[in-house]
Chain A
Amino acid sequence: EVQLVESGGGLVQPGGSLRLSCAASGFTFSRHWMSWLRQAPGKGPEWVAYIAKDGTPKYYLDSVEGRFVISRDNARDSLSLQMNSLRPDDTAVYYCARDPDGSSKVDHWGQGTPVIVSS
């Protein structure tokens, strides 16, 4: 069974940093592209970042480009999102998700980790 478990969320002040992690199991992690998505309170999902199987290339939502960095450790079946210069509009539940085949982009999602950016 595919499992994705996010951690690392919390309350952070504007301008601060946070690092999210996602532990994957139940599938061969190194064979799949992976994404981070987010969902602000009462809103629909929004894709944030995407990383290839071996770590390159990476794609980012324009509003996070230069502030967020997606990375992966295939030896540890782990995905990360380093978030810097956080803003109040980054407040959301952050999900990691798997791309099943390199084409349809998203199938399984984790349970999410909340990030609140507030002073």
Chain B
Amino acid sequence: DVVMTQSPLSLPVTLGQPASISCRSSRSVVFIDGKAYLSWFHQRPGQSPRRLIYEASERDSGVPDRFSGSGSGSDFTLKISRVEAEDVGVYYCMQGTHWPLTFGQGTRLEIK
């Protein structure tokens, strides 16, 4: 199975400041079509996950443009340009290239 490793696991951030989460896979998640099927999800307490980013860098409809995804191969990053209060929760990366689909351990973002 492809192991997804996120860092940091805990991320205290001051409102208005940037934040960055890393996600590394144990092998490349680039599919034969050349695309990296790497998604980022945000989960607030008591809610189901919401997808923010797909194919490593494509933002979902309705997702604020302060969220951006980048990376290729086995090294990916989610960035929030200016953290807002509604951004608290846990962020997960997920690879959809290899079976079984696998998730990172999660990064808990909190406001300092």
Give the B-binding residues of A (Cβ under 8 A): 35, 44-47, 50, 59, 61-62, 95, 100, 103-112
Contact = CB atoms under 8 A, between A and B. Distances in A.
Contacts of B90: 44
B92 A44 contact: yes
Contacts of A105: 37, 39, 94, 96, 101
Contacts of A104: 37, 39, 54-55, 96
Contacts of A110: 48
Interface of B: 31, 33, 35, 37, 39, 41, 47-51, 54-55, 60, 90, 92, 94, 96, 99-106
Interface majority SS (helix, strand, loop, mixed), chain B: loop
Given A109-B49, A110-B48, 19 more contacts: A44-B92, A44-B103, A44-B105, A45-B94, A47-B102, A47-B103, A59-B99, A59-B100, A103-B33, A104-B39, A104-B54, A106-B51, A106-B96, A107-B60, A108-B51, A109-B48, A109-B50, A111-B47, A112-B48
**10 shortest interchain CB distances as A-B pairs:** A105-B96, A47-B101, A109-B48, A104-B54, A44-B106, A44-B103, A107-B51, A45-B103, A104-B96, A104-B37
A103 B39 CA distance: 11
Considering residues B31, B99, B102, which has the most beta carbons from chain A within 10 angstroms of its beta carbon?
A: B99
A106 B99 contact: no
Contacts of A103: 31, 33, 35, 37, 96
A29 B37 CA distance: 22
A106 B55 CA distance: 11
A110 B48 CA distance: 7
Contacts of A35: 101
Nearest to B4: A44
Contact of A107 (B47, B54, B105): B54
A88 to B, nearest CB: 21
Contacts of A100: 54
A44 B60 contact: no
17 contacts: A44-B92, A45-B41, A45-B92, A45-B103, A47-B103, A50-B101, A59-B99, A100-B54, A103-B33, A104-B37, A105-B96, A106-B39, A106-B94, A106-B96, A107-B51, A110-B48, A111-B48
